[in-house]
Amino acid sequence: MNSANALTHIHSFSRFLLPHHHRTQCLAALSSMRPRRRRTHRRRNHKLTSTTTTTSPSPDDANLQTVIDLNDLSAQTSSFLHTLHHSSQSQIHKIVYSARDAYEDLRTLIALDDNRRVIVSCRRSTVYFVGGLVVWSFVLVFAFRVLARLGLAFRRGLSGSRNGPVVVRRDRSLGGREVVVGMSANVERKIRASGNPLSPALGTNAGVSGRVWKNRVRSHEKKLPKWWPVSMSRPGLVLNKEEYQREADRLIRVIMDNRTSGKDIMDDDIIQLRQLCRTSGVGVTIDTKNTRDYFYRASIDLVLNVCTWAPSNITSVEIDGEDARQFVAGLAENIGLENIHAARIVSAAVASRTRSRFLQSWALEMQGKHAEAKLELSKICLVLRIFPPDEFSPEMEMVARGLEKHLKVEQRELLLNMFAGVCGEESHRSATEALGLMPSPEGVGDLQ
C-alpha cells in the first residue's frame, strides 16, 4: 500500500473516531509527510556540428567547433592508397611493357635487305622511351648529387658546432703566418666579418691583447728584417749588355730544364747566374711563381750550407766574393722576387735549420755523444748571427711550439746552456726564443 492510499484510509477513519479539531491537526501533519516530486532533467545527446548558434554572439565569446570523423578519414585514406597502388602498378607494368617493346624494336634496328642495303627503322614509341630514359637518368643523377652535397654541408655544420677552441696551424709558405683551420661558431663569425680567411687567429684574450697581436703580425709582414741590405750596388756602364742578357736567359732555361727532368739545381749554376746579373745589371724572368720560389729556396739552402760549415768564430761569410746578405737580396732582385716575400723565405729556412739542429743535438746528447752535440749547435751559430730573426717573429714561435712537443722544459734549458757555451751570448736571444724559454710580450696572451 502506498502513501496516497494510506492517507485516504486514515482520512476516512478519522471522520468517525476523532473530533473535528483533532482531525484537522492530524490531516495537516499527514499532508506534511507526503513525498515531494523532484523534477528530473534528462540529458539528451546532441551531435556535434560544425556551426554553433548563439543568442547574442560576440567576437570574444564565439566558439569554433570542428568535427573530424576518423572513420571517414580512414576510409578516404584507404581509398587513396588503394588507388595509388593500382595506378603505380599499372604505370610499372606500362613501363615494363614499353621497355620490352623498345628492346625488341632495337634488336631489329639495323637490317640488310636483299640488295645488301642497310635499313635503320624503329617505332616512334621506342624513340620516346629512350629519350625519356636518358632525361630521367640525368634528373636522378643531378638530384642525387644535390642531396649528397646538402648532407655533407649539414654534417660539416654539425661537426663545426661541436668544435670549441680555435685550431690554427703555421704555414711556412706564408712565412710562419697562422692560418685558421678550425673554429667555433663565434670565432667563425669574427673571421667572416674581417673578410680575410688568413687573418691571425685570436686567442682567449680579447680586446687590447687581440689588437696588439694583430698589429705585431702586421708589422712583421710589412717590415723587412734588420739584416736586409738597405741599398744594392749598381754596376756602371756595361758594354754588350744584350750579350749578357742572352747568356743569363740561356742559363735560366738550362736550370729550369734540369728541374723539369728531375735534376737538382746545381750550386755552380746559381753562383754563375748571380755573377752575370751582378756584373751586367740584367735580370731574368721565371714563368711561374712556384718555380721562382723553388729556385730561390735552393739558393737560400746554398747560402745556409756555406754558413753551416764555416768557422763559428767569424762574423761574415762571402759567396763568390759577395757578402751573404747582399747575395740573397741581390738574387731576389735579379729573378723579380719581392723583397718582403724573399725575406720570409729566408726566415722560414733559418727557422727550419734551427729546429733540426736542436733536435739532432739533443739526440746526440741522449746517446752520450757530448762533443757531437756541441758540434751540431755550432752549425747554427753563424746562421743566427748573419740572419738573426726579429724579436717574437712568427717563424721562431713556430719552432718553439714544435720543440715543446718533443722536449721538456729541463731539456730545453740544458740545450740553451750548451748553446751559450758554444756560440756565446751574441745569438742567445734567438736561441732562447726558438726553445720557447722567453716569456711572451706584455699584453699578449698565449695563443691556442
84-93, 336-345, 435-444, range with the lowest pLDDT:
435-444
User: Quick check: pTM over 0.85?
Assistant: no
Give the whole-angstrom CA distance, residue 300 versus residue 162.
Answer: 43
Q: What CA–CA distance (Å, rounded) separates 233 from 236? A: 9
Question: Each residue of 234-288: pLDDT tens digit?
Answer: 766 677 888 989 999 999 999 999 888 888 889 999 999 999 998 888 899 988 8
Measure Cα distances from 89 to 94, 186, 278, 398 in Å. 8, 53, 86, 68
- Residue 349 reports pLDDT greater than 60: yes
The residue extents of the domains of the chain are 79-138
Contact in structure between 446 and 440 (CB atoms under 8 Å) = yes
The residues with which 125 forms a beta bridge, in sequence order, are none
Question: Which whole number is the average pLDDT over 147-153?
Answer: 87
For 435, phi then psi, to 5°, come to -85, 0
**Cβ distance 379 to 357 under 8 Å?**
yes
Q: pLDDT per residue over 123-132, tens digit each?
A: 777 877 888 8
Identify the weakest region by mean pLDDT among 8-12, 138-142, 178-182, 235-239.
8-12
Q: What is the pLDDT of residue 354?
A: 93
| C-alpha separations of 201 from 173, 186, 187 in Å | 17, 12, 9
Tallying the residues shown for the chain, one arrives at 448
